Amino acid sequence: MSYNKNQYQKGMSLTNYFVHNVIKRQFQGLVSQGCWSEGFCCKKCGYENNYCEIRSHNFFQCNRCYHQTSLSLCTIYEQTKIYLINWSLISYLLAQSRSKKGKFWEPPFGAVEDSHTDLGCVFSRAFGVVLACMLLTLGSYSMAETVAPAGCPLLHCTVEATSVMYQPIVQKVTNVTNNNTIGSTKAQGCSGNGSSLFCLFNTDNITGAGKGTLKMLDAMTLQVIWGSAAENSYDLKPMSSAGAQAPLVLSNGWVAAGDNSVHVLYDTSGAMRGKVAVGGNGYNLGLTPVSDIYGIVTQTDGVLTLVDMSTWQAIRVLTLRDPITNGRVKLTSPSSGSNNVLYAVGNNSANNHGFLFSVAVDPETRTLKLKSTSTFTGKTGATPVVVVPSMTGFENNLVLLHVPGLIKDAEPQNRLLGLLDTAFGFALQWTIPLAEVLPVAPTIDQSTQSLFFVHNNGDATVYQYSFLSGAPINTFDIRTIGGFSSTFSLNGHLNSIQAGDTFTLLISGGNWSNWAAIRGQYAIAFTPFAAPSSLLWAKKTFAVPDIYTAAWNLGISSQPDVFCPIVVGRTSGISRLCDFGM
């Protein structure tokens, strides 16, 4: 029988392992030797053995072209989302967990002869394997779905932007909690992950630990936990950060937000964990994830900054311009589509032309490329909504976009367009004539292949159309269905809940009646298919009607896997509608 070197090699305690491999970084060195056994060579320019090592992020930077390369390139760890130190510990546990025959374990499970006492306690080899698997699971970083969805702002999530949430909400509201004392938000409001809210305030009424433009709130009590003005944090400029940006909440509870000069990564305590310079000087519209690795920071002055979210490094900058005159454009809130695609809408004030841009990330060259552009007249304020092929059956993304007019119009005509993003450019699938401007994005229902939109300008009607053909299906007069007075009108973002077979619309509106008993701001849940002639619930959230309410969020309810809606108003503050109080 041949001699098994692995069987009889000397073991190493966990303590000594960390001393020799973690502190001295030998594991990282061994990994890098897998690709550069004869010395570093830049993948981009071919320059050899002239580099600096960025130890904080485990990559090398070429001193000639400044291209940055992960040290795990060409190894089994390439493109891993697990920290190398976790791989290091996993490798250790698997190597040490062996039997005398060189196997990892023998049945019965855990009944092996030799055990380890590296940490002052006894655990079997099988436990080492189980622990390695646990580390493999816990160490992985992904945008896995948590709440609303994946913890993202509803209009900024990969791989679609449809204003749809997939978590069930409470069917009855018994408690309304409101906090309008913190400060004021503007166009986008807050993002959340169920237990916490992250909000950008352009005015701040808080002092002490909660002071700052970016604040973390408890989603149940709506009380401030920390603010970005703390010593170990970074306080963003309120004017250029809170104008039209929703923070991006990652699946580990960290949050990203920025202003006109930087984009900052904060941990759950509010401490700054990363900061990248952005390429423009306009208001920051937020970081839109377009894959698990890449995100794009959009600024109102037309500048896009590509960010590697795994290393928190700015990679490339692309400036969007008028494709005919090369003039500067002012962008509004973007959306993500399929992996590595971003849709941005802009306007050139010099000629009053508007543009829908399709921008792609090339993972090989790590660059931004303009795919196609669609031109219209006027300025749209609604975020484009992206409906992916799995929902439509089309071969390409379907983009829903409000436009004030088309180039061929003798007189401007508001329309909702359905545009297919093909390899040859945008192709018009259908048009829906509109009586007036569409100030907020539509939402969709996948099961009926419908889209819903509202006008908000004194209107109280929800409109339903087919997102396949643009054909009208139904209208719902919320004023009549809810028994509101003639002074009631809708005034905010329209969102929806798709939970199982139940489709629910979340609507906000204000009643401007002089009668105090009914005057105020309202949050409404409406199930147009299950109960088209009645509201699921309608609750007053504030005594005075709001000018505008931003995107909805969710908080924890008293029921497992059921959530309480949270709506953010410009003047009415933050309101939680739930089945229990605090």
* Residue 418 domain-assigned (yes or no): yes
Domain identity same for 135 and 228: no
Domain identity same for 307 and 455: yes
* Residue 471 domain-assigned (yes or no): yes
Domain identity same for 88 and 180: no
Q: pLDDT class for 548, splitting at 50, 70, 90?
A: confident
Domain identity same for 90 and 175: no
Q: Pick the most confident of 38-52, 101-115, 132-146.
A: 38-52
Domain identity same for 129 and 218: no
* Residue 156 domain-assigned (yes or no): no
Domain identity same for 212 and 106: no
- Which pTM does this prediction carry? 0.75
Domain identity same for 176 and 316: yes
Burial 431-448 (b: 16+ CB within 10 A, else e): ebebeebbbbbbbbbbee
E runs forming strands in 214-311? 214-218, 224-227, 248-249, 255-258, 262-266, 272-277, 284-289, 294-299, 303-308
Domain identity same for 181 and 111: no
* Residue 363 domain-assigned (yes or no): yes
Q: pLDDT class for 507, splitting at 50, 70, 90?
A: very high
Among candidate residues 139, 156, 186, the one where a domain is terminated: 139
Q: pLDDT class for 460, splitting at 50, 70, 90?
A: very high
Q: Which strands sit side by side in the sheet containing 255-258, from one edge to the other? A: 248-249, 255-258, 262-266, 272-277
Asked if residues 427 and 447 have their Cβ atoms less than 8 Å apart, the reply is no
* Residue 265 domain-assigned (yes or no): yes
- pLDDT at res. 571: 86
CATH number of the domain within which 504 lies: 2.130.10.10
- Domain with 31, as residue range(s), is 5-139
- pLDDT at res. 7: 47
Domain identity same for 178 and 131: no
Domain identity same for 105 and 205: no
Rounded to 10°, the helix 84-96/125-139 angle is 160
Q: Which of 241-250, 277-286, 339-348, 392-401 has the lowest mean pLDDT?
A: 241-250
Q: pLDDT class for 426, splitting at 50, 70, 90?
A: very high
- Using a pLDDT cut of 90, give the percent of the chain over it: 55
Q: Which strands sit side by side in the sheet containing 472-477, from one edge to the other? A: 443-445, 450-453, 461-466, 472-477
Domain identity same for 37 and 106: yes
- pLDDT at res. 547: 86
* Residue 365, burial from CB neighbour count under 10 angstroms (0-12, 13-18, 19+): exposed
Domain identity same for 133 and 239: no
What average pLDDT does range 17-40 have in this prediction?
52
* Residue 154 domain-assigned (yes or no): no
- pLDDT at res. 164: 84
- pLDDT at res. 34: 52
* Residue 48 domain-assigned (yes or no): yes
CA 78 – CA 499 distance, rounded (Å): 37
**Residue 1 clears pLDDT 80, i.e. is over it:** no
Q: pLDDT class for 116, splitting at 50, 70, 90?
A: very low
What average pLDDT does range 498-512 have in this prediction?
92
Among candidate residues 124, 139, 154, the one where a domain is terminated: 139
* Domain total in the chain: 2
Burial 57-70 (b: 16+ CB within 10 A, else e): bbbbbbeeeebbbb
* Residue 147 domain-assigned (yes or no): no
CA 476 – CA 465 distance, rounded (Å): 12
Asked if residues 426 and 399 have their Cβ atoms less than 8 Å apart, the reply is yes
For residues 137 and 63, the model is more confident at 63
Among candidate residues 74, 106, 139, the one where a domain is terminated: 139
